[in-house]
Structure formats: C-alpha cells, structure tokens
Amino acid sequence: MSDGHLRATYNEIHAIIGKASEKIAPWNPDLFVAIGGGGFFPARVLRSFLKHPGTGKNISIQAIGLSLYEELPGTTSEQIGREVIRTQWLGPESRALLGRRVLIIDEVDDSRTTLAYAIKELQLDVEEQLKSFPEAEREAKRTKFAVFVVHNKKKPKAAELPADIPYFAGEEIDDLWFDYPWEARDIYEHDRLTLE
C-alpha cells in the first residue's frame, strides 16, 4: 500500500466471497444481477458457493451495465462521478425478475450511488411488469431484492438503500482506492504490490 491504494489477489477475493456466501445463503437468492463491469467476477465466483434453492443447480446471472466513474463516449466531465450512466439494461428480460429473490452484485460500495440507482430502476421495471397481472396476483409475483458487495467503504454515502433491502458486504474497508485484480494489465505486478 505504499502508493495509498488497497489491493487483493484473485485468491484473496475468492476467499472473501466464499466467506460472505455463508451470510448470504439463508436469504436464498435464486437470480443474480451483476453490475458491470466490477460485479461480473464476484457474481461468477459466488455462483460456485451458492446454488439455486429450488433445484440445487447454478444460479443464473443477468447483467446490467452502469457507470459512474468511467469516461464513456458521449459523457461529459461534469457527469463523471456525479451521474449514473446506463450502458446495458435488462429491457424485456426484466419480466424474468418477477417472483424471484434477486441478489444485485457489485465489487465495491463507494458512494452507494450506483447501487441505489440499480435498485430503484429495477424496482420500477418490476412494478411496470406487475401491471399486466390482476391485482390479486401481484404481491406473489413481486420481486425481492438484496445487495452483495465484495467491499464496503467505511464512509458516509451519497445515497441510501431502501430499509427492506438486505445488504451483505464481504469486507469493510477504509476509504482508499481499491485496485482489483481484474483491472490490472500486469497481474504479476498487481500481486507483487499486494504483498507490500
């Protein structure tokens, strides 16, 4: 950490996710929604530890693309760090969320802005889909959401999650930049720096 960054190896991240799966398992998720790009690897690893509660098979992973800190085509410098940009969404596939226990997965909870956006927008999609069902059937089809992040930064958040959303964090960390192994161009150098 001589450069002020936090790091972990793939193996360390894998172990953090495995340990967190023990806390998540009683919630019985049956669908993962990974926030891209940082949520993809944690979602895949978590799938090794948790199986579908009804079938014992792998839990499906859906993906949404959200960006808060990336410079993307068409974004302005004023938007970076302030506005969540959708780069990929479920669209008509949001109907697959109905009646499910959906675990939203990302690598880090920094400002909580992206997580709050994802939950709000997915809940709106579900409510829109529920309108096609008779009122008496809607509650049984209402989606339950929870959140898992590998790391939660110990700091005030810019957004809040709804009180009824279970929240799971693999580790609580200080408010420092975290260099994840899947972001490294030279994984050997990343691992060497992790040991410093």
- Long-range residue pairs from 132-138, CB within 8 A, at least 24 positions apart, any chain: none
Phi, psi of 58, deg, nearest 5: -60, 145
Phi, psi of 7, deg, nearest 5: -145, 160
Distances 72 to 33, 65, 86, 87, 157 between C-alpha atoms, Å = 22, 12, 11, 9, 24
Structure tokens at 7: 């790091």
Annotated catalytic residue, options 30, 110, 174, 175: 110
Residue 136 DSSP code: H
How far, in Å, CA of 113 to CA of 69, rounded?
11
Q: Active-site residue 179, yes or no?
A: no
Rounded-to-5 percentages of helix, strand, coil across the chain:
35, 25, 40
Which residues are catalytic, by number? 110
